[in-house]
Amino acid sequence: MERRSVLLLVAVVVVAGLAGSVGAACPGGYHILPYGACVKLLPLTGPSLTTWEEGNEKCKKEGGRLISLDTPEKLEQFAATLFELGDSFYGFPYWVGAKKTESGWQWLNGKKLFSRSHMWLPNEPAEGFTHAQVISMTNNPRYYLGATDHGRGSACETDEV
């Protein structure tokens, strides 16, 4: 019986230590997403909209790049994290690392983004636009992708831990 108590105590200490290290795995100002990426949200400051390139440059200055949400699960986990962070971050559009190339839509990590993906808002990607941002819909906790060339904030990710 005493041996079980010691083993249980050791297990609790190990789990608590691992849980503490998960939150500490990201650099300052970054939040860890459930799939392991570190994300930093840079809301728009000031009245001017930004370009995708400006958003990516802001991310580079923060030690990252625009986030590649290359699966529906990553997009859902990103949206859930925004919701958990509260009103200061949730509900705003953010540049993400997707752009239109000669061969179609592509993420900065090199993975393809299909134009018929259900990650896009209905009737998106709109013709004539070459960059993507995540957009929330009113009274809907989900985020979708939308094509545009003028955006607001930036969602940055880094591999640095």
- Going by the DSSP 8-state scheme, the letter that residue 15 receives in this structure is H
Domain architecture of the chain: domains with CATH: 28-158 (3.10.100.10)
List pLDDT tens digits, range 9-18: 333 333 333 3
Nearest Cα to Cα of residue 83 among 139, 145, 42, 161? 139
Q: What is the pLDDT of residue 140?
A: 67
Tens digits of residue pLDDT in 71-121: 999 999 998 888 888 777 777 889 999 999 999 999 999 999 999 999 999
- Number of CB atoms found within 10 A of residue 5's CB: 9
Calculate the average pLDDT of the chain: 82
